[in-house]
Structure 1
Amino acid sequence: MTENADAGRGQRVPAYRRPGWFVVRVANPLMRWLGAASTLDVPRRITGTRQRVPVNILELDGQRYLVSVRGRTEWVRNLRAAGHCTVRHRGRHARYRAVEISGDPRERTLAAYRHRWGAGPVRRLLDELPDPADHPTFRLDPAE
């Protein structure tokens, strides 16, 4: 069933805020090149090629979390399908099993994420999509 079919049946369509040309073509590559953010490396659902996206990893109570402030992005869909990823930061990399969380744990994680990175574009995106269900959130467990 497609999202549009779901919407026609009264079910809520997951929100998504597409990044603009500047973010995709300039800001994200620059952040990856400078090492200013961690890079999520996840296999694409269809082709199996690697998708690399700058991300903010939240450390909370000894756990690592990944939050999609833009909603149901391609990396979210790819991570759900793969169930695992690699996170790279400043020449180091670690493999993780991704466990999607919901309910109270997601809301608590979102609150901590907003506190840590809730300025500028992150704040705007969280304000545009105020429902916690619009922000897929993953706990990153070390892969064995």
Structure 2
Amino acid sequence: MSASTHVQKPGWFTVNVMNRAVAWLTRRGLSVWGSRVLAVRGRKSGAWRTTPVNLLTVDGEQYLLAPRGHVQWTHNMRAAGGGQLRLGKRVEEFTAVEVEDDEKVPLLRAYLKRWKAEVGVFFNGVGPDSPDADLRRIAPDHPVFRITVTG
């Protein structure tokens, strides 16, 4: 994919308040703007790791995009090749294929249109109305996975 090692670590408020609140609501079946709890096996431990994510749907396909860059769940996803999306008691198993940088422009644009207020700060001034060249420039910094629900 890309050689980028771009990571933006979340601050205390995001980790201890926002992520926990979204995960709590999502575990109870209340999706916040498409939120799910992603569960993926750790690449070293094999233990399930969970984090709240935004599920993006474009042209009938579903994607997970990492606004903060190459974070732990993206490394684990590459190793595991899939995981689970949880919403309340509903658990969907899925496989995942990483999207090439050249294919990310419309996905980044769609993600930013939907969640710019929430995650825009992680895209270095690039927004949903930015030129394609700007979106392509930041594509290596933001892993994207096309997911296919298997059960």
| Shorter-chain TM-score range | 0.7 to 0.9
AA aligned opposite 2:13: F
1:106 CA displacement: 1.1
Alignment TM-score, normalising by the size of structure 1:
0.84
Instruction: Using the aligned pairs only, state the percent identity.
Output: 36
Structure 2 residues not aligned, in runs of 5+:
27-31, 127-136
Distance 1:44 1:26 in 2: 24
Distance 1:128 1:49 in 2: 36
1:89 and 2:63 aligned: no
AA aligned opposite 2:15: V
1:128 CA displacement: 5.8
Q: Which among 107, 118, 123 is matched to residue 126 of structure 1?
A: 123
1:143 and 2:150 aligned: yes
Q: Point out the more displaced range, 24-33 or 72-81.
A: 24-33
Distance 1:45 1:22 in 2: 27
Give the corresponding residue for 2:108. Answer: 110
Distance 1:84 1:68 in 2: 15
Q: How many residue pairs were aligned? A: 133
Structure 1 residues not aligned, in runs of 5+:
1-11
1:116 CA displacement: 1.1
Distance 1:44 1:79 in 2: 8
